[in-house]
Chain A
Amino acid sequence: MFEYAPAPESRSVVDIKPSYGLFVDGTFVDPTDGGSFKSINPASEEVLAEIAEAGSQDVDRAVRAARKAYEKVWGPMPGRDRAKYLFRIARLIQERSRELAVLESLDNGKPIKESRDVDVPLVAAHFFYYAGWADKLDHAGFGPAPRPLGVAAQVIPWNFPLLMLAWKIAPALAAGNTVVLKPAETTPLTALLFAEICQQADLPAGVVNIVTGAGDTGRALVEHPGVDKVAFTGSTEVGKAIARAVAGTRKKLTLELGGKAANIVFDDAPVDQAVEGIVNGIFFNQGHVCCAGSRLLVQESVADRVLESLKRRMAQLRVGDPLDKNTDIGAINSAAQLERIRELSEAGAAEGAERWSPACELPDRGFWFAPTIFTGVTQAHRIAREEIFGPVLSVLTFRTPAEAVEKANNTPYGLSAGIWTDKGSRILWLADRLRAGVVWANTFNKFDPTSPFGGYKESGYGREGGRHGLEAYLNV
């Protein structure tokens, strides 16, 4: 046997402070009422830092700072000068990439190979991409001299803390808006390190403000009368609440919510690569991905073969220490999320689906869930309908392309879908019929700053990324 020795990335590259304040008007400040909470490492349950909790007064302070910066500095600044700051931030992210990757893995639980090879490079790429747009907005297709909206309130989730920050902040700043961003309460640390990068880049005070806290802080921010734009990524339930809160105001809204994507494998698919795509689709980032391929639709004539290959491949997945460079699946982000994954998995088994996981040893401390597949799943099972947001795949079969379309679309969500076939004409036929914002063909979970991303139906509205992503931050 060829056993890989532990290969941990050093955590000494990042300096975590014992406590963090709120980043308002260019400096770290204490919250008015002094509330705080702790951010823990989900792989060990060790406390990483004490984080300030922003109350409504703090949120107000942050929105005022953002308004002042918008009116006095950032709004009037020529696009080419805004671009300089964004390029500088992008370069600093690259320079400090190792620090950011380690901190992301510590706070979130995701494997270092993902934070190092996917998250942080994409974050830098987003800033580079939108930096390039800052002085070319006239040519973005929204008419001559499109105007920014003003102050953007941005609330982001815990699954890709820094990447979601980049998706929100980069286009907002490029278009000339200022922002108040609230990171998720379980993963605030990289946003706070990003605040330091803003200071390092000499970004004018108040252009980026970061308020930490949980649901109440988010509500105060979204409902604040001083914001012109609300952008949210997270659960459909919270998304609906935000849509209600914003209804009837002048605030422009974009929502990127849940998903229950179908990954469709036809009998002529390249099997080995399809299996890689299935694994990447559901086990990437522990399945904490809104566009995860959580429903595998496989053509009945190849179902046994695909499942056999999939199980063999799953037995190779290495679950454990997120900082080990050979780890494929890290820790579940929080106890609450672990509980939800357990609850839905138990419902799957109770409803009659067959559960399978490879033999794998899970660490004693921290939050862990073995990669799991359910076979014999039908459209009526809860695990085929509800978003699990964990490393759990529901396998369904189909007989004809029309049946694949019908099952794939039979969900209230519509964020993404995958197609695996060697037949180009079938890809085009199917992509036209799938009600999903992103359709991947012979690949899955591919992201690029130039490509718009967003959903249909209860997966939200508005697009992030690409030229389309500018629209959400321009008065058009």
Chain B
Amino acid sequence: MTATATSARSDLSELGRSETALRTFLHGLPGVDQVGAEQRAAQLGTRSIKTTAKAQAIDLAIRMVDLTTLEGADTPGKVRALATKALRPDPADPSCPHVGAVCVYPSMVPYVAEVLRGSGVHLASVATAFPSGQAPLEVKLADTRAAVAAGADEIDMVINRGAFLAGRYREVYDEIVATKEACGDAHLKVILETGELATYDNVRRASWLAMLAGGDFIKTSTGKVPVAATMPVTLVMLEAVRDFRAATGRQVGVKPAGGIKTSKDAIKYLVMVNETVGPDWLDPDWFRFGASSLLNDLLMQRTKLTTGVYSGPDYFTLD
């Protein structure tokens, strides 16, 4: 059994050396039936999570939030405030857990690093000419190195969608490998920008491509195109990480990002994780939400569960 697993592992690592091998492998993955995948995602959304299960899910979701600001208008003051909130999301309740990470542009990393140092909250930075990825490779790698040097321990890169859609898989693969190398010890999240990949077959192929190239996480979206994370897209990605671990023994995380705004949505995602890949992924090390407004809704629901009453939005900080 071990021998088989090892040989399977080495087989897959060879794939990136040849465009043909890579293409044959990616196109040999089982297809995704769109209707069926959407129906399954909708079914999982009908689970009813109440009382103790809801409280548990809300705390877990808070710990999984990558609290994000990615605006041209971001300033040191703004990101410091956000980082402070990440440490103590609910100042009124010390039992409230901190979030998983803060996610900002590379230029904002130093200011966030000051606040987060030693807290256990990770510092993620987008890089590689986020969000379009349309820059020369050298620029993308420099972008990555700069973010890591400034203190980011997680890098959210974008794949080259143009190359992917044109079928130049090797190019996409090589870029991820190079970025992973530039990351050093920092974790690499690979943004597939599923809204631009258009089909679930593409999502599955891009997921495998990112994992084969060494990505630690696969992430749905930048949040900068009209279609961001959806339940069916995340389902297809979860199936991919599950199958990848079965084939290689390596576990890869998943991060839906963009458009997840309510506790109800977040809980649907957690149900999907639970029933698709199981409890191994129900941990901030393996599943994250890329979100900004989600956190306050989680906090409101959390307060409602503990006090029995809804507090107005003014009781929660806006940063």
Contacts and interface: CB of A to CB of B under 8 A. Distances in A.
Nearest to A328: B43
Interface in B54-94: 54, 56-57, 60
A375 to B, nearest CB: 20
Contacts of A268: 30-31
B56 A2 contact: yes
Given A2-B57, A4-B53, A268-B31, A277 B36 contact: yes
A394 to B, nearest CB: 23
A443 B30 contact: no
Contacts of B50: 5-7
A5 to B, nearest CB: 4
A93 B302 CA distance: 37
B228 interface: no
For A5, A113, A442, which residue has the most chain B Cβ atoms within 10 angstroms? A5
B9 interface: no
Nearest to B32: A270
Contacts of B32: 270, 272-273
B317 interface: no
In terms of DSSP, what is the predominant structure of the interface of chain A?
loop
For A3, A117, A273, A326, which residue has the most chain B Cβ atoms within 10 angstroms? A273
Contact of A4 (B37, B46, B49, B282): B49
Contacts of B39: 276
A81 interface: no
A326 B49 CA distance: 9
B30 A271 contact: yes
Interface in A304-347: 316, 325-326
For B46, B48, B52, which residue has the most chain A Cβ atoms within 10 angstroms? B48
A466 to B, nearest CB: 21
A422 B51 CA distance: 43
A1 interface: yes
Contact of A117 (B46, B48, B57): B46
Interface in B254-298: 270-271, 274-275, 279, 282
Contacts of B49: 4-5, 7
A270 B200 CA distance: 11
Interface residues of A, number: 23
A273 B40 contact: yes
B92 to A, nearest CB: 26
Contact of B54 (A1, A5, A271, A276): A5
B13 to A, nearest CB: 22
Contacts of A276: 36, 39-40
For B31, B32, B36, which residue has the most chain A Cβ atoms within 10 angstroms? B36
A422 B31 contact: yes
Given A1-B279, A5-B54, A316-B275, A326 B30 contact: no
Contact of A270 (B36, B54, B60, B275): B36
B318 interface: no
Interface residues of B, number: 28
Contact of B47 (A4, A442, A443): A4
A271 B37 CA distance: 11
A27 B275 CA distance: 49
Contacts of A3: 52-53, 56
Given A2-B57, A113-B46, A326-B47, A273 B282 contact: no
B298 to A, nearest CB: 16
A5 B51 contact: yes
For A2, A113, A271, A325, which residue has the most chain B Cβ atoms within 10 angstroms? A2
B48 A269 contact: no
Contact of B37 (A2, A273, A316, A325): A273
Interface in B3-52: 30-33, 35-37, 39-40, 46-52
Nearest to B42: A117
Contacts of B48: 4, 7, 325-326
Interface in A235-271: 268-271
A276 B30 CA distance: 14
Nearest to A306: B30
Interface in B170-217: none
Contacts of A272: 30, 32, 36-37, 40, 239
Given A272-B32, A272-B37, A277-B36, A2 B279 contact: yes
Given A113-B46, A270-B30, A316-B275, A2 B270 contact: yes
A422 B32 CA distance: 9
Interface string A88-117: 000000000000000000000000010001
B53 A270 contact: no
A271 B242 CA distance: 13
A319 to B, nearest CB: 15
Nearest to A277: B36
A273 to B, nearest CB: 3
B35 A2 contact: no
Nearest to A1: B279
A270 B33 contact: yes
For B30, B31, B39, B57, which residue has the most chain A Cβ atoms within 10 angstroms? B30
B285 to A, nearest CB: 16
A326 B50 CA distance: 11
B266 to A, nearest CB: 13
A273 B52 contact: no
Contacts of A273: 32-33, 35-37, 40
A2 B271 CA distance: 8
Given A269-B30, A270-B31, A2 B36 contact: no
Contacts of A1: 279
A312 to B, nearest CB: 9
Contacts of A270: 30-33, 36
B279 A442 contact: no
Contacts of B30: 268-272
A2 B53 contact: yes
A4 B51 CA distance: 9
Given A113-B46, A270-B36, A276-B39, A5 B275 contact: no
Interface in A1-24: 1-7
Interface in A425-448: 442-443
A3 B48 CA distance: 12
A11 to B, nearest CB: 16
Nearest to B273: A2
Contacts of B33: 270, 273, 442
A273 B51 CA distance: 32
Contacts of B274: 2
Nearest to A279: B40
Contact of B35 (A4, A5, A326, A443): A443
13 contacts: A2-B53, A2-B56, A2-B60, A2-B274, A3-B53, A269-B31, A270-B30, A272-B239, A273-B35, A273-B37, A276-B36, A276-B39, A442-B35
Given A5-B49, A272-B30, 6 more contacts: A2-B271, A3-B52, A7-B48, A268-B30, A325-B48, A442-B35
5 A-B pairs with least C-beta separation: A273-B36, A7-B48, A325-B48, A273-B33, A270-B33
